[in-house]
Amino acid sequence: MPLLKQEICSPNQTGKTTMLLALASGYSALGLKGVIVLKNQEYVHDFQRRNEKLAGDFQLWTANELWDRLKFGRVQVPHQVFLIDDAEHIDIGGDLIKKLEETFADSPDFVVLMSFVSKSLQKQDVLMSKYNPDGWKLEHLAEKLRSEINRQSLNIAGDASYEAQLVTNNNFQIIGLLMQVEALQRESMVIMSSIGPDQGKIGRSRFEVKSC
C-alpha cells in the first residue's frame, strides 16, 4: 500500500481550518473521496457552522465514528484521504492512526493520512536565564563541549594521516577558545555577584534597564 503519512504542526489559530479545506478541495478535484476527522460531535457541528460547504466528496466524521468503522470493517474502500484535526487531543482508547495503517495495509490503492497537531514552534532557549531556568549554564555547556571534543581527539589519536592530524589540531584550537569562553563567563559572574544576589526566574533583573 503506498501510504502518504504526514504530521502537520502549527501553533493554535494559524489557519489550520483553511489548510484542511484546501487539501480537501485539492484531493476532491482529483476525484478522491475522503474524510475530515474531528474530536467529537460538538466539533463537527461547529465546523459545519463555520464552513457551510465542504469540498466535493469529503465527509465529516468524529474520531469515535471512524474508530468504530475501522473496528467493524465499515470504512468503504473509496475513502482514500483522512485528514485528522487536533490529533493530539483525540483519546478514544486506541491508536487511531495505527489502526488506519493496519486497515489499509493490503489496499491496492494509495492512502493519504494527514494528522494536524497544535504545537508551539518556538524553539526552547539553550542557555539558563531568568525565563529559562532549566537551561544550560554557559560554563557547564562549555565544559561538556570540551569533554566531547577531547574524546573525539582520542578516537583518532592513533591515526597518523595528515587529515587526522589536522582535525586534532583544530580540536585543540576549539578547546582553547572554549576555555576563553569559560574565563569570560567567570568574569561576568563575578560582576553580576557584585551587583547583587540572583533572585531567580521571578525576581527582578540585577541590571536596571533604563529607557533612552
Question: Which amino acid is residue 136, in one-letter code?
Answer: W
Q: Are 56 and 79 in contact (CB under 8 A)?
A: no
142 vs 201, higher pLDDT: 142
The CATH superfamily label for domain 3-118 reads P-loop containing nucleotide triphosphate hydrolases (3.40.50.300)
Give the helix ranges, DSSP H, for the chain: 16-29, 41-50, 63-71, 96-103, 138-155, 162-195
110 vs 36, higher pLDDT: 36
Residue 152 CA to residue 200 CA, distance in Å, equals: 36
pLDDT digits (tens, 9 = 90+) for 161-180: 999 899 999 999 999 999 99
Helix (H, G, I), strand (E, B) or coil at 35: strand
Give the alpha-carbon dihedral of 43, 48, 53, 59, to 10 degrees: 50
pLDDT of residue 202: 60
pLDDT digits (tens, 9 = 90+) for 86-138: 777 777 666 787 888 787 777 777 788 888 877 655 566 788 877 777 888 89
pLDDT of residue 211: 43
Q: Are 99 and 70 in contact (CB under 8 A)?
A: yes
Q: Assess whether pLDDT exceeds 50 at residue 212.
A: no
Q: Are 50 and 21 in contact (CB under 8 A)?
A: no
Half-sphere exposure of 68 (CA within 13 A, CB side): 5
Q: Assess whether pLDDT exceeds 70 at residue 11.
A: no
Terminal C-alpha separation, the chain: 64
Q: In the chain, where are the structural domains located? A: 3-118, 138-195
19 vs 207, higher pLDDT: 19
pLDDT of residue 90: 76
